[in-house]
Amino acid sequence: MALHVSVVGATGAVGRKLISLLDQSRLPVSRISPVASARSAGQVLVTERIPIAPIAAIESFSFTGADIAFFSAGAEVSRRFAPRAAAEGCLVIDNSSAFRDQADIPLAVPEVNPEVLRQRPDRGIVANPNCSTIQLVRGVAPLHAAFGLTRIVVSTYQAASGGGLRGITELASDSAEALREHPGPVAHPDDGEGRFGMRLAFNLVPQIGALDDWGAAHEERKLRYETRKILRHPSLRIDATAVRVGVFNCHSEAVLAEFDRVVEAAAAWRVLDAAHDLMLYRPDGWPPYPTPLTVQQAPSTNGHVHVGRVRGDPENPRQISLWIVADNLMVGAALNALRIAEQAVTNGWLDAVTARA
């Protein structure tokens, strides 16, 4: 089998991470076609192992002949071009919010709900969940399987990289400006024109996305319906508050999980300790809990979900609280997309490629 893979949004933070992962992966990729906007057409990206073409403009790129198309260029681009790519024969793995709430589109986290990837979807599209959702469900799914979730209260602390390269650059420039001895006007004052609505440097912004009629932000709505869909738990009560924080990379989450039975903290520890690709931190170890910085500085485990501060509640024995940190570009986007592709190959979705190779 020799796969031709295209990456739409190749110049973005997730696109670059995905190309790097493809270059190192076990997938039998023979060539990569990076795709971006017309202004990036012709640029050359560097890989170590797999041949990569110059960047092509999305408006004129033909997906015919490509086997897998990863989309990481935002919902508008995905709505416009992903169905075309699927119609041209590609398996589309989409990293935007364009298709996640559609009943006939699988929303997949292979470690949690691999059953949705047993058959290739008729529409040829698989949705990659939101970054904060992926680390949440990977952290709570083992507990749900053991004890039965009834409610989640989650506050997310989301890094600037969730806003792409522009978000990272803006945080860096505004931080440098704020640290100068006699700062002038910052590059992005609190006028609503920056990437995050307000300046993020040395700040917290407690709204990510537009508000609905109930006052819930888009990021909070995604956490609710995506978690329910992935866990196949439509009645799960979820209260979410999403906050953007002045951290370059790695999202953090404070989670209160309530179950339909009494759960001792020791039992929760045992369940989490046995979970795949989950790194559990003990209060008597070092570090005693994960932080964005400690996760970022440990690249050998940046594909893991990091969990600490696991504790029960003496006033409610059906509750467990935990702290979850993950590299949002890796765990929350590129790696999950790659694992969907690996599962598709394992399940024979691309056997026709083998036949013609």
Domains, in order of start, for the chain: 3-128+334-356 (3.40.50.720), 133-159+206-326 (3.30.360.10)
Q: Residue 145: which residues within 8 A CB-CB, separation 6 or more? A: none
Marked catalytic residue, from 4, 144, 188, 251:
251
- pLDDT of amino acid 199: 78
Q: What would the pLDDT profile of 16-34 be if each residue is shown by its tens digit? A: 999 999 999 999 999 999 9
- CA proximity to 242, closest of 175, 189, 276, 197: 197
Dist CA 183 CA 193 (whole Å) = 20
Say which DSSP state 332 is in.
I
pLDDT beyond 90 at 259 = yes
Dist CA 54 CA 34 (whole Å) = 7
Q: What would the pLDDT profile of 128-145 be if each residue is shown by its tens digit? A: 999 999 999 999 999 999
Say which DSSP state 105 is in.
S
Marked catalytic residue, from 90, 131, 304, 306:
131
Local confidence band at 356 (pLDDT 50, 70, 90 cut-offs): very low
pLDDT beyond 50 at 327 = yes
Please tell me the chain's helix, strand, coil percentages from 3-state DSSP, rounded to the nearest 5.
Answer: 35, 20, 45
Contact 77, 319 (CB under 8 A): no
Return the half-sphere exposure (C-beta side, CA atoms, 13 A cut-off) of residue 110. Answer: 21
Active site residue 144: no
Paired strand residues for 146: none
Query: What are 94's two structure tokens?
Result: 């989409």
The angle subtended at Cα 213 by Cα 212 and Cα 217, nearest 5°, is: 25
Dist CA 94 CA 107 (whole Å) = 10
Q: If you average pLDDT over residues 73-88, what whole number do you get? A: 97
Least confident of 76-85, 210-219, 228-237, 321-330: 210-219
Give the pairing of strands 251-259 and 319-326: antiparallel
- pLDDT of amino acid 357: 45
pLDDT beyond 70 at 182 = no
Contact 108, 75 (CB under 8 A): no
Q: Give the predicted TM-score (pTM) of the model.
A: 0.92
Q: What would the pLDDT profile of 190-237 be if each residue is shown by its tens digit? A: 555 677 777 788 889 998 889 989 999 999 999 999 999 999 999 999
Active site residue 131: yes
Residue showing tokens 């709204």:
207
